[in-house]
Structure 1
Amino acid sequence: MMKRTTVAAVMSAVMIASVSMVACAPARAQDQDREVYRLLELLGDALAKIRSNYVEDVDDKKLIEAGINGMLSSLDPHSNFLSPERVKQMEVDIRGEFGGLGIEVTMENGFVKVVTPIDDTPAARAGVRPGDLISHIDGEPVLGLSLTEAVKKMRGRVGSDIVLTMIREGEAEPFDITITRDIITVQSVRSRAEGNVAYIRITSFNEQTESGLRSAMDTLRAEIGEDQLRGVVLDLRNNPGGLLNQAIAVSDAFLERGEIVSTRGRGDDNIERYNAKSGDIATGLPVIVLINGGSASASEIVAGALKDHNRAILMGTKSFGKGSVQSIIQLQGGNRLKLTTSRYYTPSGTSIQATGILPDIEVPQATLEIIDNPNARSEADLRNRLENDTDNGDGSAPDAGQPGAAAPEGGETPPDYQLQRALDAIRAIDLARAGSLK
């Protein structure tokens, strides 16, 4: 009896709201409003039939939330319903610490698709790759689950194991990966000196990203030396995105002026533009931005802005192609909607939605192999050769002073081919600039 009364109350509230909407609407919109009212009645009728005829008792809250999620998931993969519990999880993510596996995911054709594993997390250590599809979680299929439900299943008690069934391009059969859950602390900015080049990797865009970037640049400038610093490699590979304001701030850090990004909503007048303020933390030095298929959303905003302003050279492979912006809309009871409300455009007016950003120089990831050729000959091996008239006395000629990639310590093969090519590019630009000053 209580359940029937609840349904009646819900339907009554819906009917009152709908009648009010019809009464207040302009005459030309009344037909459309009546159709909405009829469909709301249909929804209430379906809800009542499910509750009275389903083989088991149903949870009203879960049923209605599932209905809202169904509406949102029919719009696009990034719109969803946030319960108060999920809102708390989202706020933790933004702060940069959460419990789970360490993967950024979306939905594709009913499967959970890995956008990227986060550096130094259980998922990354277990070998999860961008583009992997998760078909089962602990043996249960993900088909029919919303993204929120799937993420909830993947999160759990720290130290507990989870088995993900993966579908990977190039693999004939699905396979299982066992991952142990852990506290995921995201250090969004990491950096190190690569010779006289500042290497800065941004793994995600959370509340600490801009301050982390500026701190890293100050530290590297002091470590390398103001007069010795030759350029910056900004690594956005496998960066799934994050906060829009942080993407704008990172772009602004390298730009002196001009538009960074614009967002355009449903109406022609719903356009916002974000512009750079003066001040370049790299002081005009060459910048190389590394991107790949795991670089999405906020990463693409930064890459697009620096590319369109000719402030950086993009290297790597095509980015993910998420060109939409989600807004958090408050609902009653602490619930919220994460709703796609606009598209973003690079300074040139280009949308990268579902197309991605192409690098200026395409460099697929590869493994370097050092080939030793013991039979190689040079001029010095030839009979009756001319002697070097600037011999240093030990049979060697003076150092030509040509910059190049530093040899790996211990004779090891360089582990990151794309990074090596970026460093080569910085050094080549520096060499060309030095030559032009002579």
Structure 2
Amino acid sequence: MKPAAFFRTAALVTAVALIPATTATMAQVDGRAGPQFAKLFAAYQRIKASYVEPVEDEQLIRGAIDGMLSSLDPHSAYVDGQSLERLNTLIDGNYSGLGLSVVMDDGAVKVISPFRGSPAEQAGVKAGDYITHLDGKLIYGGDLDEAVAQMRGPAGTSIQLTIFRPGRDEPLEVDVTRGVIELEPVTHKLEAGNVGVITVNEFSADVGRDVLSSWNELQREAAGRMTGLVLDLRSNPGGSLDEAVALSDLFLDKGRIVSQRGRARGETLLYDAETVFRGDMAKGTPVIVLIDAGSASASEIVAGALQDHRRALIMGERSFGKGSVQSLLPLGRDSALKLTTARYYTPAGHSVQEGGIKPDIAVPQLSDPDLAKRSKYQMRESDLRGHLVNELGLEDEALEADKQTDPRFKLTAEELEEQGVEDFQLHYALETLRRTTPSSVALRD
């Protein structure tokens, strides 16, 4: 994709991606900033004249821009070259590599989530892992784009990841064979009792229509007698804002879906139901939405909309908590600023920044043998250095309550395995829907 075409692509909302701005307003430079610019220029001159080795202007200017943006928040960045290529990949959803969503956290490459079915997931890489070495070479303190470039490569080739997993004393060394990552955005399956499961792995183009097609196929398989639906958004880092709105609109026939509010003119936008799809495609069918700490941005928009409109029961774990909007502001033909310009809000006016979406029923993933260790060090937006603070404020006690043990969930991973339960959260959602009648809590219409 050419740079010019890139700037015309659809909006993205992910844990590490962006939403292009509808308008870009150039702020006037405050006259009081003059002395500060003088310091910047003086530093540039001193470095050019006195540094031990000659330094190219491009390196100094890039460093100054990176420094300005890194002082703001974790999601603002200067993008060019490989950075633009990475964003193209988020749109195309097709590349050779490991299949990881990662972010730079305090100089370390931290895994937000492996894509489902990817080589990384099959090799056992988990959300919250820190990747410290690639083929034995230390990458801590380096550049995220360089690390991502090293992890990519021809399908069939392998790379060794050295992983620090919080809760484990020793690092793990994992060999991963690269594959062609052709993300299947939407999959579906009809479970016993005519309960459907639609899994949305990422919000790429046409996800709304894909979910509608999956629902129609499930209806045919169930001979029109669907008794419930699980919409699985776990480990979904986000994608297209338009598709998040479209997916929400499939289940809503009125009201607000999401709003975004910023300082600049044009950055305050409202998105309502009945603008993409008409009516509720699953009207009368109880719906459960599954989320976890890897569910971010676009996933949180959908979960928040269906929760606030009482159209679905939200189940699982508190989501990632990325409630900010990034805009692409071009600086030239092949570079741009990815700048945080707004926050987004659920229909009830709640910001998911920091706190995320709190499930109606918190269900731990008991089938994960590392649950206790990983939960203690689970990463969310609030753990990233320099993250935006929720302007309404969040009580630490409310977030800590998520970690309290629920007496209903005592089975171990080994006991569940003996029972044939590989995914406890999905199992619990299915069992809930099988016990649900149209007038009970899972419908909440």
Q: Are 2:418 and 1:418 aligned?
A: no
Aligned to 2:343: 343
1: CA distance, partners of 2:76 / 2:247: 26
1:43, distance to aligned residue in structure 2 (A): 4.6
Structure 2 matches for 1:36-185, cutoff 5 A?
36-49=36-49, 53-55=51-53, 58=55, 60-185=57-182
Asked if 2 retains the 8 angstrom alpha-carbon contact of 1:111 and 1:143, the reply is yes
1:350, distance to aligned residue in structure 2 (A): 1.1
C-alpha change, 1:37 and 1:231, in structure 2 (3 Å) is same
2: CA distance, partners of 1:413 / 1:25: 63
1:326, distance to aligned residue in structure 2 (A): 1.4
2: CA distance, partners of 1:265 / 1:163: 43
1:337, distance to aligned residue in structure 2 (A): 1.8
Which has the larger displacement, 156-165 or 324-333? 156-165
C-alpha change, 1:190 and 1:269, in structure 2 (3 Å) is closer
1: CA distance, partners of 2:290 / 2:46: 51
For residue 261 of structure 1, give the secondary structure of its aligned residue in structure 2. Answer: strand
1: CA distance, partners of 2:174 / 2:70: 27
Asked if 2 retains the 8 angstrom alpha-carbon contact of 1:89 and 1:98, the reply is no
Q: Which has the larger radius of gyration?
A: 1
C-alpha change, 1:237 and 1:94, in structure 2 (3 Å) is same
Q: Are 2:290 and 1:290 aligned?
A: yes
Asked if 1 retains the 8 angstrom alpha-carbon contact of 2:330 and 2:336, the reply is yes
Q: Deviations over 1:114-167 (max 9, x none)?
A: 110001111001101011112223333333323333222322233322222211
Structure 2 matches for 1:365-384, cutoff 5 A?
365-367=365-367
Asked if 2 retains the 8 angstrom alpha-carbon contact of 1:96 and 1:207, the reply is no
Q: Determine what percentage of the aligned residue pairs are the same residue.
A: 44
1:319, distance to aligned residue in structure 2 (A): 0.9
2: CA distance, partners of 1:300 / 1:348: 14
Asked if 2 retains the 8 angstrom alpha-carbon contact of 1:78 and 1:106, the reply is no
Q: CA RMSD in A?
A: 2.5
C-alpha change, 1:367 and 1:285, in structure 2 (3 Å) is same
Q: Deviations over 1:183-202 (max 9, x none)?
A: 11100101010120110000
1:36, distance to aligned residue in structure 2 (A): 4.1
1: CA distance, partners of 2:47 / 2:303: 47
1:64, distance to aligned residue in structure 2 (A): 3.4
1:301, distance to aligned residue in structure 2 (A): 0.8
> Which stretches in structure 2 are left out of the alignment for 5+ residues?
1-26, 369-417, 441-445
- From 204, 217, 222, the equivalent of 1:219 is 217
Aligned to 1:197: 195
- How many residues align? The count is 362
Greater helix proportion = 1
Which has the larger displacement, 157-166 or 304-313? 157-166
2: CA distance, partners of 1:142 / 1:185: 27
**With structure 1 as the length reference, what TM-score do the two structures score?**
0.77
Asked if 2 retains the 8 angstrom alpha-carbon contact of 1:324 and 1:344, the reply is yes
Aligned to 1:330: 330
- AA partner of residue 120 (structure 2): A
Aligned to 1:428: 435
Q: Are 2:207 and 1:209 aligned?
A: yes
1: CA distance, partners of 2:212 / 2:233: 16
- AA partner of residue 328 (structure 1): L
Aligned to 2:237: 240
Q: Deviations over 1:355-391 (max 9, x none)?
A: 12111011111239xxxxxxxxxxxxxxxxxxxxxxx
Task: Tell me: higher relative CO, structure 1 or 2? Use CA pairs within 8 A at least 6 residues apart.
Answer: 2
Q: Deviations over 1:321-366 (max 9, x none)?
A: 1111111121213112222211111111111112121110111112
Which has the larger displacement, 32-41 or 255-264? 32-41
For residue 187 of structure 1, give the secondary structure of its aligned residue in structure 2. Answer: coil
Asked if 2 retains the 8 angstrom alpha-carbon contact of 1:155 and 1:181, the reply is yes
> Which stretches in structure 1 are left out of the alignment for 5+ residues?
1-23, 369-410, 434-438
**With structure 2 as the length reference, what TM-score do the two structures score?**
0.76
- AA partner of residue 181 (structure 1): R
Q: Deviations over 1:382-435 (max 9, x none)?
A: xxxxxxxxxxxxxxxxxxxxxxxxxxxxx96121111111112212222766xx
Aligned to 1:388: none
